[in-house]
Structure 1
Amino acid sequence: MEVWIIASILFGSLLLFILLGVPVAFTMGGLSLIIGFIFWGGYASVEAFVLGSYGKVLEFVLTAVPLYILMAAILRYSDLADDMYEAIYRWLGGIKGGLAAGTTIIAAIFGAMVGIATVATATLGVTARTSMLKRGYDTRLVSGVILAGGSLGILIPPSILMVIYAAESGVSAGRLFFAGVVPGAIAAILFMGYAIVKCYMNPALGPSLKKEERYSYREKLSSLKGVTLPLLVIIIVLGTIYLGIATPTEAAAVGVIGSLISAAIKRKLVWANIKNMLIMTVKLNGMVFWLVIGAVAYARIVAVTGVGAWLAGLITDMEVNRWIILIGMQVIFFILGMFIDPAGILLMTAPLFLPVVTSLGFDPIWYGVIFVMNMCIAYMSPPFGFNLFVLRGVAPDLKMNDLYMSVIPFIILYMIAMGLVIIFPQLALWLPDLMMN
């Protein structure tokens, strides 16, 4: 059978079952088993898929995934966000839009601790949102900064999505971690600048604290104790990688120990919290590894049927500038991000796009950062962005129309940040070259 017919069956059925609501992991795995049985060796193909998946999940680099998820769970149930928000409230509350800008800072710090976008969104939706609304902040601005800031969790290291990308592409997870720092900082600065400028233009959107409510310098300095533990966890994780003491995978274990110590200091290691930490870890880890298992089968069938090589050749032989092809990929990611989980998008497209990226001469580290930035947008893109429903879950009074409208300015800001990284690749490549060499 012609390769293009197999490709049409493979991709068409994949999109059909995803639109029907079948989980991405089971769609990729199930279709690969069926198509493999028909076009590649019958029962032998099933055995090859099982052995391939088994070998993949045993890769050392993927050990970091459950460890970073456990670290996120420990920090999620240690109430560290409350202390950080108190510090931000005292220092920036006197500025118009200061609490909105400060929420972005907390989200960036929290993202650097947990590596998951949804954790920061849920936590800030409970703590920061209520506080800002009480002080007269506009509900759309509040929702926007929480959603945009929460999505930074997969861009600012350590990032679970980056670990999975590293496993799929064969690049260094450590280099990828450091490559996300500057783009993440650029995005955070854009969000903060937007919130402050918008509130200065219209103070009703984010009024400053009254003078009698503002804190003294002594009270502001005392609040910095709440930021100490989170920053120590970040420094420990990234510091051990930078100093060569630990690989990114081993640093995840170091981060778990640091998180446990932080939780113990906060006296949050009680049975109820430990139970929640373990439940969150098992659920998220199970979801990620089912995706990996399905993706291994999918990648194998794409390779053995010749579909991957055919598509790569088709794209690279086109008389089109390679930058047009890169932008086309980003448009595809953006559209998929409206409906599918970022990890699913990565594992679904990696067998197809990564060979094209390398054949076109693009740096896979740089491309990985651009992909992750696009997935930050995916987390808050209507209609089915994950963070939208996470925030709605902790704030059921939110109207879906307000929720959808709140993210539009921040999606544009993310696109500006992504455009800067595309135009100036050294924004992503400078720091890993400096730190890892």
Structure 2
Amino acid sequence: MSIELTTLAFFGALLFFLVLGLPLTFVLGGVSVIFLYFTWGIDSFYMVASQMWGTMENFTLVAIPLFVFMAMILERTGVANSLYRMMYLWWGGTRGGLAIGTVFICAVFAAMCGISGAAVVAMGTIALPSMLERGYDKHMALGAINIGGGLGILIPPSIIMILYSMITGVSVGQMFAAGVFPGLLLVVLVAIYVLVRCYFQPELAPALPPEERASWPEKFRSLGAVLLPILIVMMVLGSIMLGMTTPTEAAAMGVLGALISAAVYRKFNWTLIRDASLRTFSLTGMIMWILFAAHAFSAAYQSMDAQAMIEGWMELIPGGPWGTIIAMQVILFLMAMVLDPVGIMLITLPVFMPIVQSLGFDPIWFGILFVINMEIGYMTPPFGFNLFYLKGVVPPSITMQDIYRSVLPYVMVGIVGLAIIMMFPQIATWLPGYVF
């Protein structure tokens, strides 16, 4: 059978089983293993097993359950409440200030725990009722929470970045460093959007009346709420940037910081540890199956010798190397609307990365573009994860249609940020080059 027919049969089988609604990880791994058996025989399984064994021996992989455990603990402490009160006192007197402050808090959460769901649920529970009560337009408030929550996979530490590094072989530490400035850029772009829109439409996000604004002594006292988050961020990111720890050791430092936070807020007890541990075991087990599927798919794809064929197709795209990169971004954006980020990673990275490297582009820079697309995908209808996280905590009066409508301008902000980083790669590449 020719390469073209083999590739068509392989990806056609994947699409068929996905349409049936089967879990992507098991479809990808199962179809790959069956394909390997009927094309290369039972000996091909040794290739998958050896690759998987090599991955399991990788010390960096230990960071994943540690970061998940840290996130599960922080989700149950009072950090989010204290941060929101501080932000409310400082930003409440500005038009759109509560929305901007909410995005800032989501960025702080992102720098602590590395997943998006924690910030979305926390701000949907704490910030959304406060903004609606103060007369904020519901679409502006919902959109700010959605895009802020997505920062959890862009601002380090990030579990998606760890998986990207495991699949592509790039440095986890460099990926973490590369995500810092792009994450801050998106926070600034969202703040500019909110301020400009509120300047022309002040009724969308009114400022607090003067009698409800905090005094300067109250504002300064509230700054104590950021001490623990800063401690955790310094323990995780600071220790990596200063060369004191590896990403895995920094994850352990983050767990210590989360436990200290739980003790300070008097939430440290056996129930907290038990619930956080059970959810960590569940998520880590799922990630192990994802890695198995990734290796099975990679082995099957390489055995087809389809790389040359895909590269030939990419050469037909107008615009040269940059046309190819833009086409990849469009593909990732469309896939993110219907698939989860890990599934997209499993399907596209074995195909895209050799092409990216052959065209002379930095895989770290491409990794940041990939993660930003996944961040946008977290809030893009119809299947963005953050949309459903938020629906689970909003008042019954807010419909799914309201949530869908709220994200459209923020998606455009994300695309603008993506375009800026494409035009100025140094935003992503300068810090990892300087630190490492």
The 5 Å alignment of 1:3-82 reads 3-41=3-41, 43-82=42-81
2:288 alignment counterpart: 289
Partner Cα separation in structure 1 for residue 150 and residue 190 of structure 2: 12
CA–CA distance in 1 between the matches of 2:78 and 2:314?
Answer: 49
What whole-Å deviation, never above 9, does each CA across 1:44-80 have from its counterpart, x for those lacking one? 2334433433332332221111111111111111121
Within a 5 Å distance, the mapping from 1:261-340 to structure 2 comes to 261-316=260-315, 320-340=319-339
Deviations 1:332-360 (A, max 9, x none): 11111011111111122111110000001
List per-residue Cα deviations over 1:4-43 (Å, max 9, x = no partner): 11111111221222232211110111101111111111x2
2:268 partner amino acid? L
Q: What is the CA-CA distance between 1:114 and the residue it aligns to?
A: 0.9
Q: Which residue of 1 aligns with 2:175?
A: 176
- Alignment-derived partner of residue 130 in structure 1: 129
State the alpha-carbon separation in 2 of the partners of residues 146 and 289 from structure 1.
Answer: 30
1:381 Cα deviation from its structure 2 partner: 0.7
Uncovered stretches (5+) of structure 2, i.e. residues with no partner: none
Partner of 2:400: 400
Q: How does 1:76-91 map to 2 (within 5 A)?
A: 76-91=75-90
**Which is further off, 235-244 or 405-414?**
235-244
**Which residue identity is paired with 1:201?**
F
Give 1:229 shift: 0.3
Separation in 1 of the partners of 2:76 and 2:213?
Answer: 29
Pair 1:372-2:354 in alignment = no
Quick check: 1:68–1:115 contact (8 Å CA) kept in 2? Answer: yes
Match for 1:34: what amino acid?
I
Kept in 2, the 8 Å contact 1:147–1:387? The answer is yes
1:165 aligns with 2:157: no
Relative to structure 2, which stretch is displaced further, 17-26 or 361-370?
17-26
* Structure 1 equivalent of residue 422 of structure 2: 422
Question: Residue deviations 1:345-395, cap 9 Å, x none?
Answer: 112211111000000100001000011011110101100001100100112
Amino acid paired to 1:33? V
Root-mean-square deviation (Å): 1.5
- 434 and 55 in structure 1: CA distance in 2 versus 1, 3 angstrom threshold: closer
Check if 1:105 corresponds to 2:114: no
* In structure 2, C-alpha distance between the alignment counterparts of 1:203 and 1:48, rounded to whole Å: 61
Amino acid at match of 1:400: M
Deviates more, 1:282-291 or 1:413-422: 282-291
Once the two structures are TM-superposed, the CA of residue 196 in structure 1 deviates from its matched residue by 2.1
Contact 1:24 1:291 in 2 (8 A): no
The amino acid that maps onto 2:208 is: L
Give 1:417's aligned amino acid: G
In the aligned structure 1, how far is the partner of 2:378 from the partner of 2:320?
A: 30
AA partner of residue 219 (structure 2): K
Q: How much has 1:286 moved relative to structure 2?
A: 2.1
TM-score (norm 2): 0.97
Residue 220 of structure 1 deviates from its aligned partner by 0.6
Identify the residue that residue 210 of structure 1 maps to in structure 2.
209
Quote how far apart the aligned CAs of 1:320 are: 4.8
**Residues 317 and 324 of structure 2 are in contact (CA less than 8 Å); yes or no, is this contact kept in structure 1?**
no
Query: Which whole-Å deviations, capped at 9, do the CAs of 1:181-237 have from their partners, x for residues lacking one?
Result: 111111111111212222232222111111111111111111111111011111111
Larger mean CA deviation between 279-288 and 224-233 belongs to 279-288
Residue type of the alignment partner of 1:125: G
1:317 CA displacement: 7.4
* Structure 1 residue 81: Cα displacement: 0.6
For residues 247-284 of structure 1, give each alpha carbon's deviation from its aligned partner in whole angstroms, at most 9, with x where no partner exists: 11221111111111121111111233223212321222
State the distance in 1 between where 2:7 and 2:200 align: 53
How far apart are the structure 2 equivalents of 1:58 and 1:310? 33
User: Partner of 2:103: helix, strand, or coil?
Assistant: helix
- 1:219 aligns to what? 218
Amino acid at match of 2:277: L
- 8 A Cα contact 1:40 1:305, kept in partner: no
Judged with a 3 Å threshold, the aligned counterparts in structure 2 of structure 1 residues 245 and 328 are, in CA distance, closer, same or farther, namely same
8 Å contact kept, 1:57–1:292: no
| Contact 2:33 2:45 (8 Å CA) reproduced | yes
Segments of 4+ moved more than 4 angstroms: 316-320
Measure how far apart 1:84 and its partner are: 0.3
Would the aligned equivalents of 1:303 and 1:309 in 2 still touch at CA under 8 Å?
no
Would you say the 8 A contact 1:115–1:153 is kept in 2?
Answer: yes
- The question of whether the paired residues in 2 share the 8 Å contact of 1:312 and 1:353 is answered with no
The 10-residue stretch of structure 1 (318-327 or 425-434) with the greater mean CA deviation from structure 2: 318-327
- Structure-1 residue corresponding to 2:235: 236
Please say if residues 308 and 351 of structure 1, whose CA atoms lie closer than 8 Å, have aligned partners that are also in contact. Answer: no
1:319–1:127 CA distance, 2 compared to 1 (3 A): closer
Q: TM-score, normalised by structure 1?
A: 0.96
Look up the SS of the partner of 2:392 in the other structure. helix
| Aligned 8 A contact 1:108 1:156 in 2 | yes
What's the counterpart of residue 196 of structure 2? Answer: 197
> Judging changes above 3 Å, is the alpha-carbon distance between structure 1 residues 317 and 57 closer, same or farther for their aligned structure 2 residues?
farther
Identify which range, 246-255 or 302-311, moves more after superposition: 302-311
Separation (CA, whole Å) in 1 of partners of 2:37 and 2:80: 50
C-alpha distance in 1, partners of 2:166/2:63? 11
CA–CA distance in 2 between the matches of 1:221 and 1:62? 41
